[in-house]
Amino acid sequence: MALITWTDKLSVGVKTIDDQHTILCETLNELHAAMMRGQARIMVGSLLRTLVDYTHHHFAAEEAMMKAAQYPGLAQHCIKHRELTKEVEEYVARYEQGDITLSLPLLNFLSNWLTTHIQSEDKQYSPWLIQHGVR
């Protein structure tokens, strides 16, 4: 069973962003599947790094779209991105140093982080982007 199932509830209505969110969900699901198969030690490091790297890419793309559309909440949204990135990077650093293992609480944190950010933060800018021609 997947950790996150993509539904229309997670869609922000902007295809590029939805596609990127889908990739983030799939990466979390890969982490979860590896853990459930007992392969966490083999795959977790690279999957966590992929997640962090792709998150950087996604946030940069999202911010560029908001900037191009002159979204008035861009500065506040960027702050949220930095806070979330820092938190995830701290988890990854702790994992890489051996302080924590990949566990269900960590996966739940990552899953909640992604879905909450999409539903509470990203859905605030999507009407603006759509209204300003970003699809």
Give CA–CA dist 89/83, Å, rounded. 10
Break the chain into its structural domains and give their ranges.
11-131
pTM: 0.86
pLDDT at 32: 85
Residues in Cβ contact with 71 at an 8 Å cutoff, skipping those fewer than 6 apart: 77, 125, 128, 129, 132
Phi, psi of 38 (to 5 degrees): 80, 20
pLDDT at 63: 96
User: To which CATH superfamily is domain 11-131 assigned?
Assistant: Hemerythrin-like (1.20.120.50)
Q: Do 24 and 57 touch, CB atoms closer than 8 A?
A: no
pLDDT at 36: 82
pLDDT at 41: 67
pLDDT 10s digit of each residue in the chain, 135 long?
788 999 999 999 999 999 999 998 998 898 888 878 877 666 777 777 888 888 899 999 999 999 999 999 999 999 999 998 888 888 778 877 877 666 677 788 888 888 998 998 899 999 999 999 887
Give CA–CA dist 129/89, Å, rounded. 28
* Cα distance between the two ends of the chain: 31
Q: Do 73 and 125 touch, CB atoms closer than 8 A?
A: yes
